[in-house]
Amino acid sequence: MRRSLAVLLLLAILRFAPALAQVTGDAPYGKPSAVIDLSTAEGAELVRGEWRYSDARFVEVEHHAPGSDLRPSGPPNRTNDLVPHAGVADFDDSTWPVLPAESIASRRGNGKLSFNWYRINVTVPDRVGRLDPTGMTLVFEVVVDDYAEIWVDGKLPTVLGQAGGQLVKGFNAPNRVVLTRSAQPGQRFQLAIFGMNAPVSSPPVNFIWIRSATLDLYTADQARVGHDTAVRIARLDPALDSLVSPEARLEKLAGGFEFVEGPVWVREGGYLLFSDPNTNTIYRWSPEGQVSVYRTKSGYAGLDIGEYHQPGSNGLAVDKQGRLVVDQHGNRRVIRVERTGAVTVLAERYEGRRLNSPNDLVFRSDGSLYFTDPPFGLPRVFDDAGKETPWSGVYCLKDGKLTLVTKELSGPNGIAFSPDEKYLYVDNWDPKRKVIMRYEVSPDGSISNGRVFYDITRTVPGDDAWDGLKVDQRGNLYAAGPAGIYVLSPEGKLLGTIGLPEHVANFNWGDEDRRSLYITASTGLYRIRLKVPGAGAWTDLAAASQ
């Protein structure tokens, strides 16, 4: 997004100001309504749990060296594996010895480089003291000396940037795993705890033991991952009520960033990614409330990085195969992060000229990728000596071929398709022409007959203009502008605005039902629940195939 001089000065002040506290703790946290101590006979009996134990050991196995695909497809080799694989759902631990609950703090393993397994099945009881656990959030917390990994019902989800939860949290740190947010009496969970002596690179002489293991129960209010904050909803048309409930709450999920942008919900894993272009970082937010760094140096790592206001990534998207696609400002290109972690450059030049700084992007259902390319990420924006294209383009990448579909806008920014993909919307960050354009889309992906869909150039003075853009499944348009989020009907009528405590840059649909709008606004991450799901190529395809 392009910024006025005043905004750039503010960002410069923030750069050197003390970092604000981020809301990064795993939620729920703090004092629960009840605690079931699994290290006591009473606690284990309450959940009908029985601890079982086994050492783990290395074995030599046949494998393959990395091939050209960076996977184990190369020449045969030999390596090591750990046995048993006791985290899987169908593992039979019936021959393992049973541990009295009070003994899980006893030292186990053989010291030095050693590993072990603890397994227990827990069942939600009918009552916990005077509490009915129905509908409560149930959290398993364990502290293993020294490190732990937690398998729940045979699953160990792993995500780049994940710190803790079911993966290693740190030296003697608590691993907290949300088992359910709506507990039901009789509900059963199988827990497998893999313990390891650490640090692994310098194995100590001590042993492995469980310092604590509890089930914590939280009410719905205690389990919320954010807190309500001020929201100003201007209802200019009764039709807005069918989209934004009068009781809609705005939650602040995290804060303390420099300037956040480009959110995208990752359905495979159920988490949100978003960019901070100023700090050159992609962050990950989990439904448990944890914020972690997903990718550093997300847009640039050059010697002259100090000259850039926004060297990092901006727009993010996920393709049909679940791979992350990134607009990189400093590198002036669009990349795809492969499953192996390798980077594939999708677009970097048009007719031999380097792109400006790809800003926002959207997929069409046929897999073609459309993105905007203003120069806002260049050190001196329009006047940058490195700018190679005399225009600010909107491009389409289809079957490896990059096509310039329009260059009529000075600052093309947000971009979105109508649900039926007959129209492409592009908004313009230009205080002199604050317009949202609508183009007709041909079957071959080209666009034509562009017309002004909505214009605030004369009605909203000042240096602020349009930024992020999204569409819901009814074809209503949501646009980030001076007053917050503008909600427009498919006919271009303003239905109302959603005003936030901070300046809105972008937003995207999230959660399994795509009814949550995750909003990146200056230093904070917010969420509001809406009545109509968001549109999206892969979601629509999945729904059509069911």
Task: Specify the residue for token string 């989209």.
Answer: 243
Query: Domain ends where: 218, 238, 258?
Result: 218
* Distance from the first to the final alpha carbon of the chain: 38
Backbone dihedral angles phi then psi of residue 366, each to the nearest 5 degrees = -85, 5
What number is the average pLDDT over the span 111-126? 97
Among 8-12, 146-150, 359-363, 497-501, the range scoring the smallest mean pLDDT is 8-12
pLDDT at 484 over 60: yes
Compute the distance between CA of residue 40 and CA of residue 45 in angstroms, rounded to an integer: 8
Is the sign of the CA dihedral 357, 362, 364, 367 positive or negative?
positive
Structure tokens belonging to residue 303: 């010697």
Please tell me whether residues 428 and 539 are part of one structural domain: yes
Please tell me whether residues 360 and 506 are part of one structural domain: yes
Query: pLDDT higher for 224 or 188?
Result: 188
Q: Into how many domains does the chain fold?
A: 2
Those residues whose C-beta lies under 8 Å from the C-beta of residue 238, and which sit 6 or more positions away, are: none
- Closest alpha carbon to 509 in 474, 481, 546: 474
Please tell me whether residues 415 and 537 are part of one structural domain: yes
Amino acid type, 79? T
For residues 333-368, one letter each, b for 16 or more C-beta atoms within 10 angstroms of the residue's C-beta and e for the rest, the string is: bbbbbeeeeeeeebbeebeeeebbbbbbbbbbeeeb
Those residues whose C-beta lies under 8 Å from the C-beta of residue 308, and which sit 6 or more positions away, are: 300, 329, 330, 377, 378, 379
Instruction: Tell me the pLDDT tens digit for each residue of 418-474.
Output: 999 999 999 999 999 999 999 999 999 999 999 999 999 999 999 999 999 999 999
Q: 300 and 235 in contact (C-beta within 8 Å)?
A: no
pLDDT at 14 over 50: no
Please tell me whether residues 321 and 450 are part of one structural domain: yes
- Closest alpha carbon to 317 in 116, 172, 470: 470
Please tell me whether residues 112 and 205 are part of one structural domain: yes
- Report the pLDDT value the prediction gives residue 537, as an integer from 0 to 100: 62
Please tell me whether residues 318 and 195 are part of one structural domain: no
Task: Specify the residue for token string 């917050």.
Answer: 484
Domain range enclosing 153: 34-218
- Closest alpha carbon to 233 in 4, 528, 442, 16: 528
Structure tokens belonging to residue 234: 């201007």
Structure tokens belonging to residue 365: 């259902």
The confidence band for 538, taking pLDDT boundaries of 50, 70 and 90, is: low
Q: Return mean pLDDT, the chain.
A: 92
Please tell me whether residues 148 and 128 are part of one structural domain: yes
- Report the Cα 147 to chain-centroid distance in Å: 25
Percent of the chain beyond pLDDT 90? 86
Instruction: Tell me the pLDDT tens digit for each residue of 91-111.
Output: 999 999 999 999 999 999 999
The answer to the question of residue 9 being in a domain is: no
pLDDT at 30 over 90: no
What number is the average pLDDT over the span 102-129? 96
Q: 266 and 272 in contact (C-beta within 8 Å)?
A: yes
Compute the distance between CA of residue 251 and CA of residue 253 in angstroms, rounded to an integer: 6
The confidence band for 541, taking pLDDT boundaries of 50, 70 and 90, is: very low
Those residues whose C-beta lies under 8 Å from the C-beta of residue 206, and which sit 6 or more positions away, are: 107, 111, 145, 197
Query: Domain ends where: 218, 236, 269?
Result: 218
Q: 111 and 55 in contact (C-beta within 8 Å)?
A: no
Instruction: Tell me the pLDDT tens digit for each residue of 376-399.
Output: 999 999 999 999 999 999 999 999
State the CATH number of the domain containing residue 262.
2.120.10.30
Task: Specify the residue for token string 């109302």.
Answer: 496
